[in-house]
């Protein structure tokens, strides 16, 4: 085989159909596993391993063990115990074992003739008549055949419908033989692999697909084996290089420098009913310095709930408007977008600026009016949901894009809004905000294309929310606590994960809780808000709560972001043990916004598992969003912390951002070295791991 022209090695170009037994149908199924070329097979690593290198005597078997056994068939019979079962009794002289099959044919049953020898692999379980294996892998042996024992641990690969493990092992065998003839090009600098004690790429791949019998399985299952770390390092490096390339590209793009209007900003800040915190002022200064440059700002603002990100965004918008260009703010939900629109309207209308509103639920006439104002420039500030980047929305001169709770948007949505502002060779400045604090190592890997600002100071007078965890058997006490708080003039939230009762999940549904609380607290004005309501109904309920017309609001997690009711000082969260730390912290942030001491009660259904106990303990012990985020990252992983599959965060094939965080400083150092001295090698690393998917981080 000839070497690949892109420096990655020849197998990158070899289609799967070159392998024996791969036709169009199988190739289509394998594509679901992300496997389209022979090289993809090499990077499809096993999820776990089984030990088929040793034969275990039946008399030595213990329940829970997965192992290889051989025995003589004593009898095979079909029995009916609720459903049809094929039971095959085997013995090797040291004991007896039953093989149980629920799905079988007559031909299969006829195979198990008494006296034949069968070799099988499966999990040993305790059955009604002794130990058994349910649907084991098996092979009937001829008289001259010995039990086939592996000379390496047996890999178990990610599964997809219609592709058996045996087929995947056969295909990876073929791929490994081809790799031996044409090994992949070593792209990491030798100085790096030597310093870190890393094996060669080909050696690491071979070891992970076919580990020797004495391999440390526990180390491999934990992802800590040097061979896994070798591949994880290169994959992290590829993603990091890709993001840094995007950043470098932005540095070559033009943007409109926003330098005018300082007196307008000073007057706006002086008129605010509060003083900016030191952290807010620092972040404002960083943003204004970015906006004054002739290249697009690409900045991420992290700030805990209640830290004051919105007013910082308002100052950035006012700067753009004072310079004669448009600003747009996109939020993931109508409730949050509407709250931004109300806040910005209250701030900007006295200045003669009328923010435009755009959402998917808008009436046709109102939408037409908004679109016209956006297109001719009358709308200097536009606030809305994902409707902002849809077809038919044309901006006159969009120069600043602000995305709130940015992890809720997919990358293509963010790119689409950015592209609305590309005109006359200029790109809009971009500011993204999140109230989900992101641990440093994760931010380093996921947002390497963005500058990061952190608002790490709460406004003066804010008191930490007191948090307790209470079993739902004490629900009556909590109801009385709500009664007392509301009688004292305060308001309360009662949050439930589902809208209706579910037979599958034993959650308290919002509607059931609403009915229960209405009956238990007839003297209170109680409202209900959930995601299935029409936007106008939802808005009416939220506004009534903000205006104090409702004392107790029963809601689903639609209130997680953006609702600001200073008089609400008590929150009850049902089934808290089923929710993630960061989401619980976000919900808790809806209280503690006024002068009163606020409280959060986490109702849980006992008994609690280990992780649920740890999760609730974190919330009891700290109000620091960064501590919460770090523990959430450790307990649940980056995908859930940043928001499910919409994060714009790539799927890592091998690396794990939590487990491999310690590699990131070396990854950064190596990336800098490659970008300075070997851009071709850097590009080859990105192509090997991302192909054309390097677009994911571009917003």
Query: Quick one: pLDDT at residue 145?
Result: 78
Same domain flag for 178 and 115: no
Confidence of residue 699 (pLDDT cuts 50, 70, 90): very low
Confidence of residue 645 (pLDDT cuts 50, 70, 90): very low
Based on the number of CB atoms within 10 Å of its own CB, is 676 exposed (0-12), middle (13-18) or buried (19 or more)?
exposed
For the ranges 52-56, 210-214, 571-575, 586-590, the lowest mean pLDDT is seen at 586-590
* Strand-strand pairing, 48-50 and 381-384: unpaired
Whether 166 maps to a domain, the answer reads yes
Task: Please give the residue that has the higher pLDDT: either 72 or 633.
Answer: 72
Distance CA 534, CA 555 (A): 14
* Per-residue model confidence as pLDDT tens digits over 248-298: 888 889 999 999 999 999 999 999 988 999 999 999 999 999 999 999 999
Residue 141 corresponds to which tokens in the numbers above? 């042996």
Same domain flag for 270 and 348: yes
Please give the distance of CA 116 from its chain centroid, rounded to a whole number. 52
Residue 645 corresponds to which tokens in the numbers above? 């599959």
* Per-residue model confidence as pLDDT tens digits over 128-171: 889 999 999 898 988 777 777 788 888 999 887 888 888 999 99
Query: Quick one: pLDDT at residue 3?
Result: 43
For the ranges 234-238, 294-298, 316-320, 690-694, the lowest mean pLDDT is seen at 690-694
Q: What are phi and psi of 401, to 5 degrees?
A: -115, 125
- Domain's final residue, options 455, 476, 494: 455
Same domain flag for 336 and 424: yes
Residue 451 corresponds to which tokens in the numbers above? 């500058």
**Does the pLDDT of residue 1 top 60, yes or no?**
no
Region of residue 357 (phi > 0: left; psi between -120 and 50: alpha; otherwise: beta) = beta
**Does the pLDDT of residue 560 top 60, yes or no?**
no
Distance CA 142, CA 146 (A): 8
Query: Quick one: pLDDT at residue 406?
Result: 63
What is the rounded average pLDDT of the residues 237-247?
89
Residue 69 corresponds to which tokens in the numbers above? 């056994």
Nearest to 132 by CA among 80, 64, 52: 64
* Strand-strand pairing, 48-50 and 154-156: antiparallel
**Does the pLDDT of residue 5 top 50, yes or no?**
no
What Å distances lie between residue 507 and 482, 496, 498, 513, CA to CA? Answer: 20, 8, 7, 10
Nearest to 76 by CA among 85, 65, 67: 85
* Percentage of the chain exceeding pLDDT 90: 52
Confidence of residue 413 (pLDDT cuts 50, 70, 90): low
Query: Quick one: pLDDT at residue 402?
Result: 94
* Per-residue model confidence as pLDDT tens digits over 416-463: 777 887 876 789 999 999 877 677 777 777 778 888 899 988 777 778
What is the rounded average pLDDT of the residues 230-246?
92
Peptide bond into 652 cis (omega under 30): no
Same domain flag for 281 and 353: yes
Give the CA-trace dihedral at 651, 652, 653, 656, to 10 degrees. Answer: -140
**Does the pLDDT of residue 697 top 50, yes or no?**
no
Query: Quick one: pLDDT at residue 499?
Result: 54
Whether 44 maps to a domain, the answer reads yes
Measured at the alpha carbon of residue 155, what is the angle toward residues 158 and 85, in degrees to the nearest 5? 75
Task: Please give the residue that has the higher pLDDT: either 626 or 430.
Answer: 430
* Percentage of the chain exceeding pLDDT 70: 91
Distance CA 607, CA 616 (A): 13
DSSP-derived secondary structure for 53-93: SSB--GGG--TT-EEEEEEEEEEEEEEESSSEEEEEEEE-S
Nearest to 113 by CA among 143, 147, 73: 73
Same domain flag for 299 and 442: yes
Residue 398 corresponds to which tokens in the numbers above? 């969009």
What is the rounded average pLDDT of the residues 534-563?
81
Distance CA 513, CA 554 (A): 7
Query: Quick one: pLDDT at residue 408?
Result: 61
- Domain's final residue, options 595, 622, 649: 622
User: CB neighbours (10 Å) of residue 541?
Assistant: 20
Sign for the CA dihedral angle at 650, 652, 657, 658 comes to: positive
Same domain flag for 360 and 273: yes
Same domain flag for 45 and 65: no
**Residues paired with 71 in a beta bridge:** 118
Nearest to 324 by CA among 402, 426, 422, 396: 396
Same domain flag for 61 and 28: no
What is the rounded average pLDDT of the residues 99-126?
92
Distance CA 659, CA 668 (A): 17
Whether 699 maps to a domain, the answer reads no
Query: Quick one: pLDDT at residue 221?
Result: 84
Query: Quick one: pLDDT at residue 107?
Result: 87
DSSP-derived secondary structure for 144-174: TPPP---SSPEEEPPPBTTB-HHHHHHHHHH
Q: What is the domain-level CATH number for residue 575? A: 3.40.50.300
Whether 556 maps to a domain, the answer reads yes
Same domain flag for 18 and 139: no
Distance CA 337, CA 228 (A): 44
| DSSP-based three-state secondary structure for 428 | coil
- Domain's final residue, options 622, 640, 661: 622
Whether 332 maps to a domain, the answer reads yes
pTM of the model: 0.71
What is the rounded average pLDDT of the residues 178-204?
92
For the ranges 443-457, 539-553, 643-657, the lowest mean pLDDT is seen at 643-657
What mean pLDDT value characterizes the chain? 86
Whether 407 maps to a domain, the answer reads yes
Residue 468 corresponds to which tokens in the numbers above? 């307790």
Same domain flag for 383 and 359: yes
Helices (H) and strands (E) counted in the chain, each on its own, are 24, 21
Confidence of residue 524 (pLDDT cuts 50, 70, 90): very high
Query: Quick one: pLDDT at residue 498?
Result: 66
As for how many domains the chain has, the answer is 4
What is the rounded average pLDDT of the residues 645-672?
78
66 is in which domain, residue-wise?
54-149
Confidence of residue 628 (pLDDT cuts 50, 70, 90): confident
Same domain flag for 61 and 171: no
Confidence of residue 8 (pLDDT cuts 50, 70, 90): low
* Per-residue model confidence as pLDDT tens digits over 10-49: 666 788 889 999 999 999 999 888 888 898 899 999 988 8
Whether 30 maps to a domain, the answer reads yes
Distance CA 661, CA 412 (A): 27
What is the rounded average pLDDT of the residues 519-538?
88
Query: Quick one: pLDDT at residue 159?
Result: 81
Whether 533 maps to a domain, the answer reads yes
Place of tokens 């009016």: 369
**Does the pLDDT of residue 2 top 80, yes or no?**
no
**Does the pLDDT of residue 505 top 70, yes or no?**
no
In 496-616, DSSP assigns E strands to 526-529, 552-555, 568-573, 599-604
Confidence of residue 87 (pLDDT cuts 50, 70, 90): very high
Task: Please give the residue that has the higher pLDDT: either 679 or 644.
Answer: 679
What is the rounded average pLDDT of the residues 215-220?
88
Sign for the CA dihedral angle at 364, 368, 371, 377 comes to: negative
Query: Quick one: pLDDT at residue 637?
Result: 59
Same domain flag for 503 and 593: yes
């Amino acid at each position: 085989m000839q070497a690949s022209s892109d420096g990655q090695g020849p197998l990158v170009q070899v289609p799967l159909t070159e392998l024996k037994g791969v036709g169009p149908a199988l190739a289509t199924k394998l594509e679901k596993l992300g496997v389209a070329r022979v090289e993809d097979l090499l990077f499809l690593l096993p999820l776990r391993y089984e030990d088929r290198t040793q034969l275990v005597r039946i008399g030595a078997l213990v329940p829970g063990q997965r192992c290889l056994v051989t025995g003589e068939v004593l009898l095979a019979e079909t029995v009916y115990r609720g459903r049809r079962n094929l039971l095959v009794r085997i013995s090797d002289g040291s004991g007896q074992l039953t093989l149980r099959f629920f799905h079988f044919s007559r031909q299969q049953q006829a195979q198990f003739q008494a006296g034949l020898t069968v070799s099988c692999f499966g999990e040993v379980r305790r059955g009604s008549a002794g130990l058994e294996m349910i649907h084991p892998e098996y092979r009937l042996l001829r008289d001259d055949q010995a039990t086939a024992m592996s000379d390496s641990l047996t890999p178990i690969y990610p599964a997809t419908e219609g592709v058996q493990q045996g087929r995947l092992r056969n295909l990876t065998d073929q791929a490994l033989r081809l790799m031996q003839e044409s090994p992949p090009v070593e792209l990491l600098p030798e100085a790096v692999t030597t310093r870190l004690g890393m094996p060669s790429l080909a050696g690491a791949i071979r070891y992970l697909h076919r580990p020797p019998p004495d391999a440390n399985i526990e180390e491999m299952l934990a992802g800590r084996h040097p061979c896994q770390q070798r591949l994880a390092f290169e994959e992290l490096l590829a993603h990091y290089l890709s993001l840094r390339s995007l950043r470098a590209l932005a540095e070559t793009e033009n943007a409109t420098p926003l330098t005018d209007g300082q007196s307008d900003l000073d007057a706006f800040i002086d008129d605010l009913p509060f003083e900016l915190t030191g952290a807010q002022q620092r972040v404002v200064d960083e943003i204004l310095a970015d906006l004054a440059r002739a290249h697009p700002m690409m900045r991420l603002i992290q700030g805990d709930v209640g830290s004051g990100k919105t007013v910082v965004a308002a100052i950035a918008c006012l700067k753009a408007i004072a310079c004669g260009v448009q600003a747009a703010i996109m939020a993931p939900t109508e409730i949050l977008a509407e709250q931004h629109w109300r806040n910005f309207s209250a701030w900007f209308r006295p200045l003669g600026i009328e923010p435009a509103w755009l959402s998917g639920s808008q009436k046709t006439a109102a939408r037409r009016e908004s679109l016209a104002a956006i297109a001719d420039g009358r709308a200097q500030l536009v606030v809305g949901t994902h409707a902002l980047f849809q077809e038919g929305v044309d901006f006159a001169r969009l120069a600043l894009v602000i995305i709130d709770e940015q992890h809720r948007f997919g990358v293509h949505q963010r790119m689409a809004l950015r592209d609305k502002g590309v005109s006359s060779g200029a790109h809009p400045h971009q500011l993204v905000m999140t109230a989900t604090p992101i641990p440093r190592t994760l931010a380093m890997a996921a947002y390497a294309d963005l500058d990061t600002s952190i608002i790490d100071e709460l406004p003066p007078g804010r008191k930490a929310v007191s948090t307790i965890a209470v079993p739902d058997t004490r629900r009556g006490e909590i109801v009385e606590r709500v009664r007392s708080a509301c009688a004292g003039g305060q308001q309360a939230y009662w949050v439930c994960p589902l809208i209706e009762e579910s037979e599958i999940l034993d959650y308290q549904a919002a509607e059931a809780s609403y009915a229960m609380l209405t009956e238990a607290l007839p003297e209170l004005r109680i409202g209900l808000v959930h995601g299935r309501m029409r936007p106008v109904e939802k808005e009416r309920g939220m506004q009534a709560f903000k205006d104090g017309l409702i004392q107790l609001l029963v809601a689903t997690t639609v209130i997680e972001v953006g609702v600001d009711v200073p008089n609400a000082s008590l929150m009850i969260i049902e089934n808290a043990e089923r929710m993630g730390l960061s989401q619980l912290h976000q919900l808790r942030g809806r209280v503690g916004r006024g002068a009163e001491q606020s409280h959060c009660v986490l109702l849980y259904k006992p008994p609690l598992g280990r992780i649920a106990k740890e999760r609730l303990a974190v919330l009891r012990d700290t109000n620091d969003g960064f501590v919460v985020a770090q523990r959430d990252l450790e307990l649940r992983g980056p995908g859930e912390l940043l928001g499910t599959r919409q994060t714009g965060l790539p799927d890592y094939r091998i690396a794990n951002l939590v487990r491999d965080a310690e590699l990131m400083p070396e990854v950064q150092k190596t990336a800098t070295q490659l970008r300075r001295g070997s851009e071709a090698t850097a590009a080859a690393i990105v192509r090997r791991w991302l192909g054309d998917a390097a677009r994911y981080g571009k917003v």
